[in-house]
Structure 1
Amino acid sequence: MDVHGIGMTSRRTRDRLIQRLREEGIRDERVLEAILHVPRHVFVDEALASRAYEDTALPIGHGQTISQPYIVALMTQALLAGGRLKKVLEVGTGSGYQTAVLAGMVDEIYSVERIEPLMKLARKRLREIGCRNVHIKLSDGSWGWKEHAPYDGIIVTAAPAAVPPALLEQLAPGGRLVIPVGGPTMQELLLVQQTDKGPVQERLELVNFVPLVRDSL
């Protein structure tokens, strides 16, 4: 597996993506470095590898997508704005790309994915590129991963109609939750901070994510 890339996945191509992200307002150098060095082409089908460093979402099968790099950068920047996080919950492993971007900047990631083939492939890819601080399980993301709570940060990569109460319950005091919330075609990306007076929401941007599907207990 070539994690460095050639041709359309080369360093020059990645540099152009980073320049675009800077122009779109991404300022956190840690995030830009992670986007630069994480091999996004590894997380897409080989037929789409030539498009891996375009600033666009791409299909990964099962009705899911790998998020646009700008959105990955924006969500990661918002999550880390309060400083380095020790323990992060990711809801929706998907391709594993968002997981890989975060992995070098937090101590431990607990990630849940409800589609088994995606979970297995993401686990394999993350292992291959050397991510050793990621724990993945097959689960309905709206329930979180209670056994390892509370989390300093929670990042959600699919959109519920409202913030799932279970996720707020698993957010540590002072913790940050980044989540898209809304209908099937357009949502608001929210930053929710857990304060001593309860959760406080900040709207970041309009986004378009696949719905967060909730399984029954």
Structure 2
Amino acid sequence: MIDFAEMRRAMVDAQVRANDVTDLRIVAAMLETPREKFVPASLKNFAYIDDDLLVKPGTPARYLMEPMVLARLLQAAAVAPDALVLDVGAATGYSTAVLARLAGQVVALEEDAELAGQGTRILEELGLLNAAYVQGPMNAGWAGEAPYDVILLNGSVDEVPPALLSQLKPEGRLVCVVGRGRSGRASIYTNTTGGIGSRIAFDAAVPVLPGFEARPGFVF
């Protein structure tokens, strides 16, 4: 029988701690969250590899981000225990479950009804009562619970829509990967008194989050 708890510890030691994730709250949250519950049955044995995992094939396909990138994004976001977080593109809810152990309340935004249903069932099974799914266009955010202390985008995007940035609290932070493949950069957007500031945190390559493609420019 596979020892998922041991696999989880190995993942945290080799992928999270070894990649400059020093926030012990994140380490503890990932040790407590059973990633194998969030992937299809055929992938449970691979739940803790250092790679993105396909949770729904198709066009577009949907993935869980690799644990190292997720952990580093969460560390960059500096999620406080009382934070209100919007988890965009939550898919089956692994990132939401980790965030629920870090934050005060988590809103999981997902536009795919099947994925949202799966995620809701898993969160209920784990007893994570401070996280809930909402369904709607991911690139529009969820204004009904805004403003947020932290917004996480679960995948790479060509650009961050102004609608999402407008849902940040003062000093609120949005974290995501901007750019595709080797051009991907984990970026932090902060709502400052002078407007939205941004900085690059590290290089990262993760699957595309659909709906965030660059708008076509004008052709003269």
Structure 2 gaps of 5+ residues are: 214-220
Q: Is the 8 A contact 2:7 2:48 kept in 1?
A: yes
SS of match in other structure, 1:121: helix
- Residue 24 of structure 1 is aligned with which of 19, 25, 28? 19
Identity of aligned residues (%): 29
Q: Is the 8 A contact 1:185 1:209 kept in 2?
A: no
Alignment of 1:123-202 (within 5 A): 123-183=120-180, 186-202=183-199
SS of match in other structure, 1:204: strand
Alignment of 1:8-87 (within 5 A): 8-9=3-4, 11-20=5-14, 21-62=16-57, 63-80=61-78, 83-87=80-84
Q: Is the 8 A contact 1:8 1:50 kept in 2?
A: no
1:90-133 deviation line (CA, Å, top 9, x unaligned): 11011200000000111111121111111111111111111111
Q: Is the 8 A contact 1:187 1:209 kept in 2?
A: no
Residue of structure 2 equivalent to 1:209: 207
CA separation of 1:100/1:171 partners in 2, compared to 1, >3 Å: closer, same or farther? same
Q: CA deviation at 1:84?
A: 3.3
Query: How many residue pairs were aligned?
Result: 208
Query: Equivalents in 2 of 1:8, 1:53: separation in Å?
Result: 11
Query: Equivalents in 2 of 1:209, 1:171: separation in Å?
Result: 24
Residue of structure 1 equivalent to 2:92: 95
Q: CA deviation at 1:182?
A: 2.1
TM-score, length-scaled by structure 2 = 0.88
SS of match in other structure, 2:149: strand
Residue of structure 2 equivalent to 1:3: none
Of 99-108 and 196-205, deviating more is 196-205
Query: Equivalents in 2 of 1:104, 1:116: separation in Å?
Result: 24
Q: Is the 8 A contact 2:168 2:174 kept in 1?
A: yes
Q: CA deviation at 1:186?
A: 4.2
Q: Pairwise CA RMSD of aligned residues?
A: 1.8
- Residue 118 of structure 1 is aligned with which of 115, 118, 122? 115
Q: Is the 8 A contact 1:115 1:138 kept in 2?
A: yes
TM-score, length-scaled by structure 1 = 0.89
Query: Equivalents in 2 of 1:113, 1:186: separation in Å?
Result: 26
Query: Equivalents in 2 of 1:166, 1:61: separation in Å?
Result: 27
Structure 1 gaps of 5+ residues are: 1-5
